[in-house]
Structure 1
Amino acid sequence: MNRIQKKIWSLAIVVLFIMAIIWIALTYYNQQTQDQYNDILQRYLSLNEVTSASQNLITDLNDYLLQPSEENLNQLKESKASVQDAKVEVLILKNEDNEFAMANYMNLIDNLLETTDRSLMYQLQKENEASTNEFSEATRISNYISETTLTLIDTELKTYELLYRNVIEQSDELKKLGIWLLLLITFLLLLMTYWFSKSITRPVQKLTESANELAKGRFDLPIKVESNDEISFLAETFDRMRININNLIVEIQEKAQLEHELQQNKLLLKESQLKILQNQINPHFLFNTLNIMSKKAYLEGAEETSDLLVSVASLLRYNLKRSDKPVTLYEEVVVLRQYMEIQKARFTERLHLHMDIDESCLGMQIPGLTLQPIIENAVIHTIEPSEDGGNIWFRISEGMDLITIEIEDDGQGMAQEKILQILSGDSGTTEKSSSTGIGFSNVVKRLRLFYGQDDVIGIQSIEGQGTNVVLKIPKQRRQEGDD
């Protein structure tokens, strides 16, 4: 059962409860008054019954004395029994006010019965004169009983006169009470009806005002309806609909903005592609020139110069590739070797490279141009500043779930601020650009984007003692959208 129905049923139950209480009270009071009337009337009837029974007894006794028969005798006995019963009924009417009169009244009834028995006895003994005298006495007692009954009734009337007046006054008071109760109930019902209607119309009015605001396009205003019934649930549903519509409008606006930006980016992309095509002319020309020089040096017998030119050409060709294109670790190691051959030709005995590579790991994919910027950073900060040169260690090892790549040097080391700056992806103005145009911080960003995790690279360094860069390459790359 919903709450509005509960409110209606509660109002109906309260009304029925009040009406039931009033009905019970009036019924009880009416029953009390009726019982008082019945009690008084019963007293009068009981006294009158004694008079009627005594007169019937005299009549039946006279009939029997005139015509003794079995039927008349039985009728006489019934009359005597009626007098006895009437006596018992009257006996309960005895109270403090009529105690003396009721005692005499009881004696008169007893004398009547005794006189009747004596008259009957004399009749059976054939003593007609004595029987007649007793009959006359019984008649006199019966008449006296009638007079005494009237006296008792008059006494009862005087005794209960105050009661009669109280009953009449109570009846008048009951009428007034009924009028006041009617007015009070009417007021309470009006008050309850007003409260009940307000509890329904007020939330509906607020909901209507909110709907009008939504019709005006005000989707940012929350809908709040304080109610404990279905209207509150309706308002909450309405508010959720407002939020969804507002989110949809924001999403449409964002999509429109993104579409606009996409169109702008497409135009910029076309321009950049043209520039890239133009800029590629010079690197390709240089690449072809290096190949010609390498062959010419080889023909002239300068084999070392030829090998050096081949390494430079290969390195240039590799760098012409897109840096965001994944390559195998093997390709990166090959390019790394070529780069280090060029650097050895430059630094001769000052550069010492130590490589420890697990060949089973070289099939892993890695973003292009990842290792060269890191090891070039080691060359720049280890070999160039020192007249005696330095050592660089390059290691690749396999673990349970990871492949670890270490690039360690014994150079000047880096400050912790610089390490944090690199790991945060903010190269700032202090990082020297590598020959590829890709800085160390850029490598960090691309590794994190490629593998979808932040702990893919770590840097440990002590100033004056060297730096150790550790790449932790997961064997299973986390795809975009995975948790």
Structure 2
Amino acid sequence: MNSIQKKILTLTTVVLVIMSVIWVALTYYNHKTQNQYNEILQRYLSLNEVTSASQQLITDLNNYMLKPTSENLDLLEHSKEELIGAKLDVDTLRNPENHFTLSNYINLIDSLQETTDRFLLYYSEKDTEASTKEFTEAMNISNYISEMTLTLLDKELKTHDKFYRSIIERSGEVIKLGMWLLLLITFVLIFITYWFSLGITRPVLKLTQAANELSNGKFDVEIKVETNDEIAFLARTFDRMRNNINNLISEIKNKAQLERELQENKILLQESQFRSLQSQINPHFLFNTLNTLSKKAYLEGSEETSDLLVSVAGLLRYNLKQIDRSVTLYEEVAVLKQYMDIQKARFTERLKLILEVDEDCLFVRIPALTLQPIIENAVIHAIEPREEGGTIWFRVKDGEDMITIEIEDDGKGMDQEKIQQILEENTMETEGHSTGIGFSNVVKRLRLFYGYDHVIDIFSDKGNGTKVALYIRKEGVKKG
């Protein structure tokens, strides 16, 4: 569980605890008051039950005297039992204030029961006078019970008058307490909510200010958020992003400076310069000059510059030879590596070359300046236009009857119409090639050299790169 969720859970828990405590307190107070009310009401009901039971007993006694049936006798016995039960309930109401009165009250109930029993005894003995006298006595006792009940009820009302008043006072106090609690809870919740929101909005405000600084180009302002939640993690991530951007800008500046230095020293030679050197400069003078520059650069500690000059000299020497000669595949691959060393110095990390060469196939002969125009075409059309650069794969595979040479790139590719023009030798474009040899011219020279048409395939789709495959039959091939 993250920190913000913990804060929310804590806030919710605090609110629930406060509300639960208030609810429990109010429920307890209400339950206690209700029990007191029920207890007082039960006292009143118990006293009233005695009066009702005694009056019902007199009624059943009169009915039995008028009509002495077994049914009326059962009713009379039932009334006696009700009176006994009421007497037991009344006895539980005894307290120091009503002890004497309640004792007389219970004695009257006992007298009524005894009078009823004597009435039944005399009535069963056919003693009409005695039974009538007992009936009259029972009625008088019942009246006394009713009067005594009123007296006890009056005492109960006086006794609990203070209780009623205290309940009313406490109810008013509870209302006041509830209002104060409501105000207190409101204040506490406002304070907690403010503190909680401040813990979120303050770091967010810092992040907003940092974002504004970054948008203005200030990448050296450190972002600090001293919390222990997700916003602090976001701030640290944001600060790492700022450092990465700052480092990337520095790296780009360094690369731009290096590119300018390379261009200023004329390390990257354009293809037009190669053509002009071929026709205007004495080759021996050019080779001697490049060798002198290479040695001088080496002595001055510029080993990379020295290696580049050696590669340029070797490439230029190779290109100035007769184009219609044949060379081994080993020589073509060596010149190809020199050419790619020059291009890597130009494009740096933008250009990647992956070589997969079967050394057993390097003895075959191939027309001079065959591979360089093809791979140069890949550099011009697949690597140079793209800011992120690209990758070129050079493979030499040994098959049963055929040696296959593949040059593949991950550039933008070409459409089928362009492929068909190259294979049909209908295009003579040489612009951008240091050798002055176009792609279609390479296809034509290969077909003339080997004597069969299916010497090359081009596989390409728009946006999916291009792969050029050369096929050299082993039949009749001699080691160079």
TM-score per shorter chain, which class?
Answer: 0.5 to 0.7
How does 1:10-409 map onto structure 2 within 5 Å?
10-263=10-263, 277=292
Q: Which runs of 5+ in 1 are unaligned?
A: 268-272, 281-320, 325-483
What is the alpha-carbon distance in structure 1 between the residues aligned to residue 108 and residue 74 of structure 2? 23
Superposed displacement of residue 225, structure 1: 1.4
Q: What do residues 48-93 of structure 1 show as CA deviations (whole Å, max 9, x unaligned)?
A: 1111111111111111111111111111111011101101111110
Distance of 2:294 and 2:41 partners within structure 1: 132
Aligned to 2:358: none
Structure 1 position 124, deviation (Å): 0.7
Q: Structure 1: how far apart are the matches of 2:173 and 2:152?
A: 31
Distance 1:279 1:243, change over 3 A: closer
| Compared CA separation, residues 199 and 279, structure 1 to 2 (3 A) | closer
Report the alpha carbon displacement of residue 279 of structure 1 after superposing the two structures with TM.
13
**Matched letter for residue 12 of structure 2:** A
**Deviation at 1:5?**
3.0
TM-score for the superposition, normalised by structure 1:
0.55
Identity across the alignment (%): 63
The secondary structure found in structure 2 opposite 1:148 is: helix
Alpha-carbon distance change, 278 to 62 in structure 1, aligned in 2, over 3 angstroms? closer
Question: Which amino acid is 2:138 matched to?
Answer: A
Deviation of residue 165 (structure 1)?
0.7
Distance in 1 separating the partners of 2:293 and 2:40:
131
Q: Deviations over 1:198-248 (max 9, x none)?
A: 111111111101110111111111111122222111111111111110111
* SS, match of residue 79 in structure 1: helix
Q: Name the CA distance, whole Å, in 1 between partners of 2:124 and 2:141.
A: 22
Q: Which amino acid aligns with 1:99?
A: H
| Deviations 1:366-401 (CA, angstroms, capped at 9, x unpaired) | xxxxxxxxxxxxxxxxxxxxxxxxxxxxxxxxxxxx
**One-letter amino acid matched to 2:214:** L
- State how far apart, in whole Å, the 1-side matches of 2:34 and 2:231 are: 53
Q: Which residue of 1 aligns with 2:406?
A: none
Q: Distance in 2 between matches of 1:178 and 1:119?
A: 63
- Structure 2 residues without counterparts, runs of 5 or longer: 268-287, 302-480
In structure 2, what is the Cα distance between the partners aligned to 1:64 and 1:163? 45
Query: What is the Cα deviation at residue 8 of structure 1?
Result: 2.5
In the superposition, relative to structure 1, how do residues 129 and 26 fare at CA in structure 2: closer, same or farther (>3 Å)?
same
In structure 2, the CA distance between the partners of 1:207 and 1:278, relative to structure 1 (3 Å rule), is closer
One-letter amino acid of the structure 1 residue matched with residue 119 of structure 2? S
- C-alpha separation between the residues in 2 aligned to 1:228 and 1:68? 95
For each residue in 1:247-297, what CA deviation from the matched residue of structure 2 results, as whole angstroms up to 9, or x when unmatched?
111111222233344445668xxxxx95984999xxxxxxxxxxxxxxxxx
The 2-side partners of 1:5 and 1:275 are apart by: 72
TM-score, reference length from structure 2: 0.55
Deviations 1:431-465 (A, max 9, x none): xxxxxxxxxxxxxxxxxxxxxxxxxxxxxxxxxxx
Equivalence for 1:4: 4
Query: What's the offset of the Cα at 1:175?
Result: 0.7
Shift of 1:99: 1.1
Q: Tell me how far apart the structure 1 counterparts of residues 259 and 65 of structure 2 sit (CA, whole Å).
A: 136
Distance 1:248 1:11 in 2: 44
Task: Provide closer, same or farther for how the CA distance between residues 323 and 194 of structure 1 changes in structure 2, counting only shifts above 3 A.
Answer: closer
Residue 220 to residue 94, structure 1, CA distance change in 2 (3 Å)? same
d(CA) in 1 for partners of 2:68, 2:183: 73
Change (3 A) 1:278 1:78: closer
Find the counterpart in structure 2 of residue 399 from structure 1.
Answer: none
Q: Which has the larger radius of gyration?
A: 1
Cα deviation, residue 153, structure 1: 0.8
For residue 238 of structure 1, what is the amino acid of its counterpart?
F
RMSD, aligned CA: 2.9
Q: Deviations over 1:88-115 (max 9, x none)?
A: 1111100111111111111111111111
One-letter identity of the residue aligned with 1:118: R
**Distance across 2 between alignment mates of 1:276 and 1:145:** 144
Letter in 2 for 1:58: I
Cα displacement string for residues 336-365 of structure 1 (whole angstroms, at most 9, x for unaligned residues): xxxxxxxxxxxxxxxxxxxxxxxxxxxxxx
SS at match of 2:95: coil
Alpha-carbon deviations, 1:176-211, whole Å to 9, x = none? 111111111111111111112111111111110111
